[in-house]
Amino acid sequence: MNKQTVIIENIKILSEQGWSQPTSLLIENGKIAEVGEGIQHPNARYIDVQGQYILPGIIDLHGDAFERHIAPRAGTHFPLELALAANDASLVASGITTFYYSITDGFEPGPRSRDTVRELLLALEKLMPRFSCQARIHIRHEKVNVEKHEELVDWILSGRIHLLSLNDHLPPLNNERKIQRYLAGMRRRVSMSVEGINQFLHNLQQHRELGEQQAADLAEIAAQQGISLASHDDETLEEVARSISLGVSIAEFPMSEAAARECQKGGAAVLMGSPNLVRGGSHVGAISVKEAMDHGVVDILCSDYHYPSLFSAPFTAVNTNNLSLFDAWKFVSENPAKAAGLGASKGKIEMGYDADFILLSELDGSPLSILSTWVKGQQVFTKANLSQITNI
């Protein structure tokens, strides 16, 4: 028996017309080889799932909740192998089959420094073959982090980075609101006196011009390497225009509807956080994802800082935005796949696509209804006792 060949019987597949009658799915070598009734194969393992629902696996382009596994409390740090193993289990239990580890290449000392990026990158590359969820690297580069620019360029050229976003979280010295918001977060990450922080932020301002020059270089190199580029927190139309000129294909968290719409006009898919939709609003006072969906100015949802929200969000959109589940699910599967350059192999339950999917018992939007998660045709998470519903 070839264990790589599986026929899943009596599944319901979602289409634009709704849920299908129970049908079958043939998986060979990690790919969906056939979809339809009465599929047979001499070497297949047959699994009767008795009417479970199947949805494409979730593709999460922007998530940093793994930081909580590394440092669950201020001042506590766990070994990376232990923390990342726990994170991997959390991902597949939430139906996420492809995850971009969003690592901040920041200007602060400590958890968001280049040293931390380097350590995380090495740990992830070592552990990726053992992960259940397909792992990719998303570097969130802060423009004023101008040191060791050549190292970042080398990572891109050597294929170690799969998504690059260009961030500017350094608050301008003339914007007290942004300064206070930034300080509140920095104090949770870095032990430094108020005077020390103020001087630190003041000194960084001199790197803005060089940072912009380096960002333009990084954007050009990313384009040459076929790596998707993202902007971050675009607020004004001038900022959007600058991002579009760099060739971004993804606009992360634009700060207003006008900015989001301008990003779309420029050809960038707009990404927003699923916790915003599930909770009913932004935790930092940004644009409401519900309203953005109503107005058609969001294309992709991500976990941001909470993995289970990404599974629940499409179901929330069905109830709050009057979307069909077929359309709502695209925000977490087909749309992010296309934006990240994976649209030919991921995001759909169709012949030739990777066998990345989740099987559900109910359509209530609860992660508790996820019975199993499959990655490349392998069951990596299960709550069902398949020995009772499997025929060899």
Residues 276, 354, single domain; the answer is: no
Residues 264-272 have a mean pLDDT of: 98
In total, how many domains does the chain have?
2
Q: For residues 138 and 229, give the distance between their C-alpha atoms in angstroms, rounded to a whole number.
A: 10
pLDDT digits (tens, 9 = 90+) for 47-56: 999 999 999 9
Q: For residues 350 and 355, give the distance between their C-alpha atoms in angstroms, rounded to a whole number.
A: 9
Residue 193, pLDDT score: 73
Residues 153, 279, single domain; the answer is: yes
Residues 126, 177, single domain; the answer is: yes
Place of tokens 């870095």: 190
Answer whether residue 180 shows pLDDT above 80.
no
Residues 195, 145, single domain; the answer is: yes
pLDDT digits (tens, 9 = 90+) for 279-328: 987 766 678 999 999 999 999 999 999 999 999 999 999 999 999 999 99
Which CATH number belongs to the domain containing residue 84 in this structure? 3.20.20.140
C-alpha torsion sign, points 146, 150, 151, 157: positive
Short-list 19, 23, 21, CA closest to 39: 23
Which CATH number belongs to the domain containing residue 356 in this structure? 2.30.40.10
Residues 314, 371, single domain; the answer is: no
C-alpha torsion sign, points 193, 195, 201, 203: negative
Residue 387, pLDDT score: 43
Residues 330, 361, single domain; the answer is: no
Q: Tell me if 233 sits within 8 A of 253, measured CB to CB.
A: yes
Q: List the structure tokens of 24.
A: 């079958």
Q: For residues 304 and 138, give the distance between their C-alpha atoms in angstroms, rounded to a whole number.
A: 12
Query: Which residues span the domain enclosing 322?
Result: 58-339
- Whole-model pTM: value is 0.93
Q: Tell me if 315 sits within 8 A of 365, measured CB to CB.
A: yes
Residues 317, 170, single domain; the answer is: yes
Residues 163, 244, single domain; the answer is: yes
pLDDT digits (tens, 9 = 90+) for 15-31: 999 999 999 999 999 99
Residues 228, 357, single domain; the answer is: no
Average pLDDT, the chain: 92
Residues 286, 256, single domain; the answer is: yes
State how far the alpha carbon of 388 is from the alpha carbons of 284, 288, 302, 385, in Å.
48, 45, 35, 6
Q: For residues 52 and 77, give the distance between their C-alpha atoms in angstroms, rounded to a whole number.
A: 40
Q: Tell me if 62 sits within 8 A of 43, measured CB to CB.
A: no
Residue 71, pLDDT score: 86
Residues 52, 117, single domain; the answer is: no
Residues 309, 294, single domain; the answer is: yes
